[in-house]
Amino acid sequence: MRVASVFAQPFAAWRVWAPRRVCRRCLSQKTGRSVAQMLQWKPAEKVDGVVVNGYVRSVRAMKTHHFISLTDGSSLAPLQAVVPADHAEGLTVGTAVRLTGAWVASSGKAQSHEMQVEKVDVLGPSDPKTFPIQKKYMTPDYLRTIPHLRPRTTMNSILLRLRSDVIACLTQYFADRSFTQTHPPIITSSDCEGAGEVFTLMPASDAAAAESGDSATTRAAQEHFFRSRKYLTVSTQLHLEALAQSVGNVWTLSPVFRAEKSDTSRHLSEFYMLEAEMTFVDDLGPVMDLAEDMLRHLSISLYNSASVNDLLSRPKQLGQDLAPADDVRRRWEGFMLQNWPRITYTDAMKVLKDAADKFEHKPDWGTGLQSEHEKYLAEVIGGGSRPVFVTNYPRDIKAFYMRESQTQPNGPDAATPGATVDCFDLLVPEFCEIAGGSMREHRLDPLLQAMKRHGLEGPGAEVLNWYVDLRRWGCPPHGGFGVGFDRLLSYLSGVQSIRDIVSFPRWFGRCDC
Amino acid sequence: MRVASVFAQPFAAWRVWAPRRVCRRCLSQKTGRSVAQMLQWKPAEKVDGVVVNGYVRSVRAMKTHHFISLTDGSSLAPLQAVVPADHAEGLTVGTAVRLTGAWVASSGKAQSHEMQVEKVDVLGPSDPKTFPIQKKYMTPDYLRTIPHLRPRTTMNSILLRLRSDVIACLTQYFADRSFTQTHPPIITSSDCEGAGEVFTLMPASDAAAAESGDSATTRAAQEHFFRSRKYLTVSTQLHLEALAQSVGNVWTLSPVFRAEKSDTSRHLSEFYMLEAEMTFVDDLGPVMDLAEDMLRHLSISLYNSASVNDLLSRPKQLGQDLAPADDVRRRWEGFMLQNWPRITYTDAMKVLKDAADKFEHKPDWGTGLQSEHEKYLAEVIGGGSRPVFVTNYPRDIKAFYMRESQTQPNGPDAATPGATVDCFDLLVPEFCEIAGGSMREHRLDPLLQAMKRHGLEGPGAEVLNWYVDLRRWGCPPHGGFGVGFDRLLSYLSGVQSIRDIVSFPRWFGRCDC
């Protein structure tokens, strides 16, 4: 068994990206300081005339004063404000307020400073009796029924900040490495990439006309707008390949769509994919190097950020629907490790067969890996910490565009019972596949043969003519990978259902707001 | 007439973002240096064993040697390679090659160094007789018929790099200012925002079933996937407002869709919008400050970048379909100017009426500004260089969610013949509107009244219930703006038709690849 464990790292971490959430004087003058900025501000002497905006999270009414916890989504910890009882009218849970007063050292233990409020402006009143966000525990199912209000919970504001930090970090990562960020199309002409059921689209007015029931109208409407039926993209890869032939290495963070009629915690009808494509690479090595280095860079850059710190240090009752904080911390630390193991599918199959009695589904060369198999490999090969690349899957269970393996014998012998392709799945502990990639077949004739094998010839397949065309004039070896961006965020946050990492999740039967 | 011309700048340019396209040692070891990197590398002595990948742009065959111009999309200028005649087989225009040889000072004047090739690997052959990309002039119309190959032209590779640089620059801009980048949904439940005709969607398999002509099937299919009809978003604003109530200032760069059956050089069915939303702002001032500062920061950051330099220094024959380079340079420099004028619609109307005989459409208070009016205002108020904010448009020609003007009298008097809203359009010379924004009505009752006025009540309007809900519990004053991202890139590149700034443009009747 070959488990390559030492690889030269192709990219140094030239610059560790760090989110800046510090006081910006000019911005603060216009809009007040954020709660996060206030909590970092520890002047030795009382400062008057300070303005803070936010929402009332809780109120503790005393005889002469009310103690207000104020939040604005910028930090896990709230700001404590002391409001004279005669100023506290309208300060109910959920209210949007502007507080003006003094910032002074606090006598309490909870935070170093507190606000002694002199002026209260109620900017947006809130009736706590009807406010659907309660301080008590709310189930994920309940919160999903109010996606427009759900972002206001503390945990969801942390998840929004985490998403933003990850986007900014990766944008800088790719810019520093001369990868061109691109906007491949969302509406596409192809429905035959094999990535699942697709959506088609038409103008709403035509759909309404078609609903009148006249079948001629229906057909005319469906054929009309783009002259033939078009689809929402399931992956930007094919178009990325065209763009890579222009400017070399490219990447994108783009929404993709699946019309699967499935109702699981792992599937959405709309989600973001990060996809990267490298040109002039001869084999899968540099592609895997990039995926590994990107995720390692991400974890190193953000591990000490405010959003990750809030995520890992949240009180237990706040994150009771998340994976335990210690488990999530191990995921971040796993990404930081060097030398992620790489194992071929064929070798992995041997490992699985040696443990066949552990599985419900018997491992069998030529079939896909089941979730239980992937979990076992992550545990045994990755030691439960390092992500694991499984490479060179059988040709017949992978997409038509993957290049046949160059580095493994393809003939039917004992070690390799059939043809394989230069591809990889990246498995992480507990969570299974988090990324997948491959070399693309860049030679015209082998691509046409592969398409024939996959039934992609004749009527219907002409929508891929442009993709074949890319091979006709100067197509270098190239390959790339895709990461389910929302799945990655789920993994790194410990959110158990992908429906809870996306602000407005869409799945079979559900599209609220 | 009030033309406010001096405004305090709210944001300093803390960090000028600069794209890095320099040599990355580790990356180069894996994949070779880019042409842009090679052209910057000027060693005093000959360096052997250098590897470069790229595409043959042109060949000049001499007796003993062929002179090859090699490009890879990384720079306007090609790399000159000298190949012994007996190594030059297969080096035709468009071919993807890997060249190995020595990097030496050149005797020619065109560039300081050239490559003396010792080894040629043809990685992707190209038949120049059939290659659709010719060295001679190709019309934009022709190039639009081959969008999958069009990126390979020199001008399109520059445009791709410019887009990437703009995205990275703005991502850093917002991250530095603690704006949270978000992913609002693409599939939405509302079709009544008044931003134009929308697309609806359904699983392709259901559409195929419906095409069988049976009207019961049709109706079942259309109602099925999400339980009721859903749409592709025309603007992320409404959802951004919900997210802003969680984490404060937010932004996004998201695809949006229009099903307009119009065939002009200004409209696409799919394009990117940059939208930002600020909370706890009392009036339009900080919103306009942000739009102005963002665009100024962008122009200052990128003005000396490689992509902008290539854009402005391209030879005339390469950019003959673009606005003249000097005009484009003035656009970049116009963005850099301080203190963009701000004028109310009512005052603008007076300016227009004073010049009424210049216009085909007579200016009339209460109607929208025509393109000829906007051009005139950009010229007269902006002096043909500064962008111009026109604010406080009449209520009845703007969207339902805009707040009624706070700073202007709304009563019917001579100066203001009717109610106006707190909104702005940002006009630029030659190009008209490039951004628009407003304060959002954050109070429940005024919003409900505005919706009633716009016919948004009763059956069908319940899809906006969630948006109204945002006002029920703690909604602070807030506002934001949107920039047509592809229009912005057209303006800054001089590309005349928006179909040529987007790699795979989609419009009425056209969706290739």
What is the DSSP code string of B424-462?
EEEEETTTEEEEEEEEE--SHHHHHHHHHHTT--STTGG
pLDDT at A212: 67
Give the model's confidence band at B409: pLDDT under 50 very low, under 70 low, under 90 confident, else very high.
Answer: low
**What is the SS3 assignment for A239?**
helix
Q: Report the distance separating Cα B18 and Cα B46, nearest Å.
A: 31
Do B167 and A181 lie within an 8 Å CB cutoff? yes
Rounded to two decimals, the ipTM of the complex is: 0.93
Q: Which chain A residue has its CA at the smallest distance from B442's CA?
A: A124
CB neighbours of residue B364 within 10 Å: 11
CA angle B418/B424/B425 to nearest 5° reads: 115
pTM of the full structure: 0.93
For residue A153, pLDDT over 70 is answered with: yes
For residue B369, pLDDT over 60 is answered with: yes
Do A511 and B442 lie within an 8 Å CB cutoff? no
Partner A contacted by B236 (CB < 8 A): no
A493 to each of A156, A241, A333, B94, how far by Cα in Å? 11, 31, 13, 46
In the chain, the amino acid numbered A110 is: A
Encode pLDDT of B59-78 as tens digits: 999 999 999 999 999 999 99
pLDDT at A201: 93
For residue A140, pLDDT over 80 is answered with: yes
Q: Which of residues 276-305 of A touch B (CB under 8 A)?
A: 278-281, 286, 289
Span between the terminal Cα atoms of chain A, in Å: 52
Give the model's confidence band at A234: pLDDT under 50 very low, under 70 low, under 90 confident, else very high.
Answer: very high
Encode pLDDT of A162-191 as tens digits: 999 999 999 999 999 999 999 999 999 987
In 3D space, the residue among B404, B440, B338 whose CA is nearest the CA of residue B6 turns out to be: B338
Q: Report the distance separating Cα B69 and Cα B59, nearest Å.
A: 7
State mean pLDDT over A118-145. Answer: 94
Q: Percentage of residues in chain A with pLDDT exceeding 90? A: 78
State mean pLDDT over A87-106. Answer: 95
Is the separation of the CB atoms in A422 and A479 below 8 Å?
Answer: yes
For residue B5, pLDDT over 90 is answered with: no
Is the separation of the CB atoms in A492 and A170 below 8 Å?
Answer: no
Q: Which of A247, A251, A464, A506 to mutate to test the interface with B (most CBs of B within 10 A)?
A: A247
| Residue among A218, A246, A278 minimizing CB distance to B218 | A218
Encode pLDDT of A347-363 as tens digits: 999 999 999 999 999 99
pLDDT at B408: 56
Bridge partners, B432 (sequence order): B428
For residue A215, pLDDT over 90 is answered with: no
CA distance A483 to chain B (A): 16
Is the separation of the CB atoms in B480 and B237 below 8 Å?
Answer: yes
pLDDT at B6: 29
The CATH homologous superfamily to which domain B35-131 belongs is: Nucleic acid-binding proteins (2.40.50.140)
Span between the terminal Cα atoms of chain B, in Å: 52
| Residue among B127, B161, B202 minimizing CB distance to A199 | B202
Q: Which of A279, A473, A487, A498 to mutate to test the interface with B (most CBs of B within 10 A)?
A: A473
Is the separation of the CB atoms in A37 and A74 below 8 Å?
Answer: yes
| Rg, chain B, Cα only | 27
Q: Report the distance separating Cα B213 and Cα A60, nearest Å.
A: 65
Is the separation of the CB atoms in B109 and B96 below 8 Å?
Answer: no
Q: Report the distance separating Cα B262 and Cα B197, nearest Å.
A: 11
State mean pLDDT over B426-430. Answer: 92
State mean pLDDT over B284-289. Answer: 96
| Residue among B30, B189, B246 minimizing CB distance to A511 | B189
| Residue among B19, B157, B513 minimizing CB distance to A246 | B157
Partner B contacted by A220 (CB < 8 A): no
Do A513 and B211 lie within an 8 Å CB cutoff? no
In 3D space, the residue among B454, B484, B60, B89 whose CA is nearest the CA of residue B254 turns out to be: B484
**What is the SS3 assignment for B477?**
coil
* Backbone phi, psi, residue A231, to 5°: -135, 160
Poorest-pLDDT segment among A105-114, B36-45, B232-241, B272-281: A105-114
pLDDT at A32: 74
Partner A contacted by B476 (CB < 8 A): yes
pLDDT at B11: 34
Chain B residues with CB under 8 Å of A445 CB are: none
Q: Identify the H or E element spanning A377.
A: helix A371-380
For residue A16, pLDDT over 80 is answered with: no
Chain B residues with CB under 8 Å of A259 CB are: 202-205, 225
Q: Which of residues 44-103 of A touch B (CB under 8 A)?
A: 53, 55-56, 72-74, 94-96, 98
Chain A residues with CB under 8 Å of B229 CB are: 204, 207
Encode pLDDT of B156-199 as tens digits: 999 999 999 999 999 999 999 999 999 999 999 987 666 679 99
Do A185 and B506 lie within an 8 Å CB cutoff? yes
pLDDT at A134: 85
Do B281 and A30 lie within an 8 Å CB cutoff? yes
For residue A22, pLDDT over 50 is answered with: no
- Residue range(s) in chain A whose domain bears CATH number 2.40.50.140: 35-131
For residue B274, pLDDT over 70 is answered with: yes
pLDDT at A194: 66
Do B148 and A466 lie within an 8 Å CB cutoff? yes
What is the DSSP code string of B96-137?
EEEEEEEEEE-SSSS-SEEEEEEEEEEEE-B-TTT-S--SS-
Q: Which of residues 480-509 of B touch A (CB under 8 A)?
A: 502-504, 506, 508-509
Partner B contacted by A127 (CB < 8 A): yes
Encode pLDDT of A433-451 as tens digits: 999 999 999 999 999 999 9
pLDDT at A432: 84
Identify the CATH class of A152-198+234-500: alpha beta
Q: Report the distance separating Cα B123 and Cα B98, nearest Å.
A: 7
Give the model's confidence band at A417: pLDDT under 50 very low, under 70 low, under 90 confident, else very high.
Answer: low
Encode pLDDT of B102-153 as tens digits: 999 998 777 899 999 999 999 999 999 999 998 889 999 999 999 999 999 9
Q: Percentage of residues in chain A with pLDDT exceeding 70? A: 88
pLDDT at B265: 81
**What is the SS3 assignment for B211?**
helix
Is the separation of the CB atoms in A483 and A435 below 8 Å?
Answer: yes
- Residue range(s) in chain B whose domain bears CATH number 3.30.930.10: 152-198+234-500
Do B31 and A286 lie within an 8 Å CB cutoff? yes
pLDDT at B454: 92
pLDDT at B222: 53
Encode pLDDT of B449-475 as tens digits: 999 999 998 888 899 999 999 999 999
Q: Which chain A residue has its CA at the smallest distance from B9's CA?
A: A26
For residue A477, pLDDT over 60 is answered with: yes
What is the DSSP code string of B266-334?
T--SEEEEEEEEEES--SHHHHHHHHHHHHHHHHHHHTTSHHHHHHHH--GGGGTTBPPHHHHHHHHHH
CA distance A327 to chain B (A): 26
pLDDT at B412: 44
